[in-house]
Structure 1
Amino acid sequence: MLTPCYDWIVQWSSKEKVFKNKLIEQAVFTNEDTVLDVGCGTGTLLSMLKHEHLDLHGVDIDPNCLLLAKQKLNKFSLSVKLQKGSATFLPYEQDSFDHVFCSLMFHHLTDDDKVDGLKEIYRVLKPGGELHFADWGRPSSRWSRWRFLIVQLLDGFATTNACLSDFVAKSMRDLGFTVLETGRVNALVGEIVLLNAKKL
């Protein structure tokens, strides 16, 4: 029901263009790299990947978001392969992608699904491939913690409590990723943490 308002809500609450630009800047692309956006939503991040020689893919569980993504990407004349699918069961072969992006999606998943989603991302990444990850992270101040309560009230405490710890980064390391925190963005309702995780 909120899908038509999705872009406005995300832009308003998260400084979307700021953190997504930072996420893209941490990726070093070469010609014809294969790139997947997991939980691509309405295609904003994909529309920002203007490198002309990338093989772009997006997957999302919401068909309404995928429809909006298709319309948005057509405006940019970008050729992107969009598919319906879940982060916990990605519809791609093993070792398919050089880069995987995932932004502001994991806080919607249960802890078990977070781990399953990371396993799937690890599976579809090529050896040496990188995951560029952004989501709400551990607040660095009491004021930031109070602001993040808005996210928890809207999205549920069961799925967002992991954001108050290093659960995702630890799960990445447990799977064999090397993980580096590359930045933080202080947004309206909390702090967005950016991670770079490399599959060895």
Structure 2
Amino acid sequence: MAAVDGSADESVLAATGAFAAQQVRAALELLPSDRVFEIGCGVGRIGTQLAAALAGWHGIDIAENMAALARARVAAHPGATASAVDGPNLEPFADASMDKGYCVAVFIHMDKEDMVLYLREVARVLKPGGLFYFDHWNLSNPVGWQRFAYEVDQVGRGNPAERKDVARNQFCTPEELRLYVRAAGLELVFEDNSAHFAQMVARKPDHALAPGAPSPLPIDPARLTAGAAAAAARLAAVRADIAFSARCVQCFAECCEVLIGGVHPSTVLARWRAEPGPSPDVQLHIAWLEAIWHRHPHLWPPVAA
């Protein structure tokens, strides 16, 4: 987050990390005995929130400097570490060695082929019955589409030779994500597509699934294995703890008014602060937008007195 969101603010890093960690806990039902991995750990934004309560946490990142920072942040927790990898692989982990894993706001920054390769690796390293949570820009959501349209405009105006390989954005439909999960040999046990980010939980089956073409259709409980059906039922009961709230989606759309639409940050911040008892979602976005403004004052003129 610190590397790509522009805030470069430790308090915002902690706040957004805590928010994401809450979603991960609900999605994976983390236990003290769990050994958990994170794909794209960055500086340990989420890992620092989770490591103390786990038997093991291992973050991986393609950037050695990021992995080093994450290692330093979790150094106080036995069993917690981070490693750099040179591509879409989970080489630090043996087959069927990890209980659970997650990837938050990282698959959006890689080619889809690399995401599928990572999902194959997830299927390799998870123990049977293990769960994996991830999210991705949701092209089928109006706010997700708005973010995609901005990306298209940026690419159209930019110099292709200067386009970044990292921190650029990819977008998917839920149908694509279902195909990728199932093609990797995983069972899809949860999805929420109501927000600008699609959220999914996949489960490694107890036994290899029968070969066949992957399906882009939504989850059909009648076609799940017994273990997957039980996981799907549990996740359905905690959907509200995993999914982005409608207010959170609205706040992100309002941030887009600033970052994309040319609205001054002060306008949106004043609107949010005027709300009676701002919700935690609003408070989080206030902190994030303030940090962006503070970090990049040249993007917006001073407010007239």
Scaled to the shorter chain, the TM-score interval is: 0.7 to 0.9
CA contact (8 A) 1:87 1:120 kept: no
Structure 1 residues 107-163: Cα deviation after superposition (integer angstroms, max 9, x where no partner): 22222212111111110111111111122223422x54123334564867xx84542
Structure 1 residues 154-186: Cα deviation after superposition (integer angstroms, max 9, x where no partner): 867xx8454245322211112222213444685
- Residue pairs, 1:118-129, within 5 angstroms: 118-129=119-130
By how many angstroms is 1:95 displaced? Answer: 0.5
Matching residue of 2:187: 178
CA contact (8 A) 2:38 2:102 kept: yes
CA contact (8 A) 1:104 1:135 kept: yes
Find the aligned partners of 2:170 and 2:45 in 1 and give their Cα distance. 26
Amino acid at match of 1:178: E
Find the aligned partners of 1:182 and 1:174 in 2 and give their Cα distance. 16
- Residue pairs, 1:1-200, within 5 angstroms: 3=3, 8=8, 17-50=18-51, 52-74=53-75, 77-79=76-78, 80-86=80-86, 88-91=88-91, 92-141=93-142, 143-150=143-150, 153=154, 160-183=169-192, 186=195, 191-200=196-205
Larger strand proportion of the pair: 1
Q: CA 1:94 to 1:82, structure 2 compared with 1: closer, same or farther past 3 Å?
A: same
Find the aligned partners of 2:95 and 2:58 in 1 and give their Cα distance. 15
What count of residue pairs does the alignment treat as equivalent? 189
Find the aligned partners of 1:139 and 1:64 in 2 and give their Cα distance. 35
Find the aligned partners of 1:128 and 1:134 in 2 and give their Cα distance. 20
What is the alpha-carbon root mean square deviation over aligned residues? 3.2
By how many angstroms is 1:99 displaced? Answer: 0.2
CA contact (8 A) 1:184 1:193 kept: yes
By how many angstroms is 1:90 displaced? Answer: 1.3
By how many angstroms is 1:59 displaced? Answer: 0.8
Taking structure 2 as the reference length, the TM-score comes to: 0.53
Structure 1 residues 8-66: Cα deviation after superposition (integer angstroms, max 9, x where no partner): 48x69xx6643442122121233321111111111111111155342111111101111
Give the % identical residues: 21
CA contact (8 A) 1:47 1:78 kept: no
Q: CA 1:181 to 1:149, structure 2 compared with 1: closer, same or farther past 3 Å?
A: farther
Q: CA 1:85 to 1:144, structure 2 compared with 1: closer, same or farther past 3 Å?
A: closer
Q: CA 1:147 to 1:30, structure 2 compared with 1: closer, same or farther past 3 Å?
A: closer
Unmatched runs of 5 consecutive residues or more in structure 2: 156-163, 206-305
SS at match of 1:172: helix
Matching residue of 2:220: none
Q: CA 1:87 to 1:133, structure 2 compared with 1: closer, same or farther past 3 Å?
A: farther
Q: CA 1:6 to 1:96, structure 2 compared with 1: closer, same or farther past 3 Å?
A: farther
Amino acid at match of 1:112: E
Larger Rg: 2
Taking structure 1 as the reference length, the TM-score comes to: 0.77
Amino acid at match of 2:99: D
Amino acid at match of 2:184: L
Unmatched runs of 5 consecutive residues or more in structure 1: none
Amino acid at match of 1:23: V
